[in-house]
């Protein structure tokens, strides 16, 4: 689930529920998404708000994911991004 903040469409809150049969089962993982005015030509900045340990998540919550960097394409939707995460 993801939705824009009440005061701006450029900042969103997203929630990913932990998948069954994983270490995150039952977890409610919160993320912040910030969209530049150049979106969709530039990927949004996404950080986990929920503290967690994962090799692809930096200590500050940033996510190491190729589609948010060098593999970004404007055809990716918020749904696609969250599914990839």
Residues annotated as catalytic (active site), given as ranges: 64
Alpha carbon distance 59, 35 (integer Å): 21
For strand 2-4 and strand 28-34, is the pairing parallel, antiparallel, or unpaired?
Answer: unpaired
CA 18, CA 7: separation in Å to the nearest integer?
A: 28
Residue with tokens 């190491």: 64
């Amino acid at each position: 689930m993801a939705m824009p903040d009440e005061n701006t469409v450029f900042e969103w809150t997203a929630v990913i529920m932990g998948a069954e049969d994983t270490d995150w089962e039952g977890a409610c993982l919160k993320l912040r998404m910030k969209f530049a005015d150049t979106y969709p030509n530039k990927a949004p900045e996404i950080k986990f708000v929920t503290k967690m340990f994962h090799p692809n998540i930096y200590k500050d919550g940033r996510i190491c994911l190729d589609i948010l960097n060098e593999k970004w394409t404007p055809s990716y939707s918020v749904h696609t991004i969250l599914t990839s995460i």
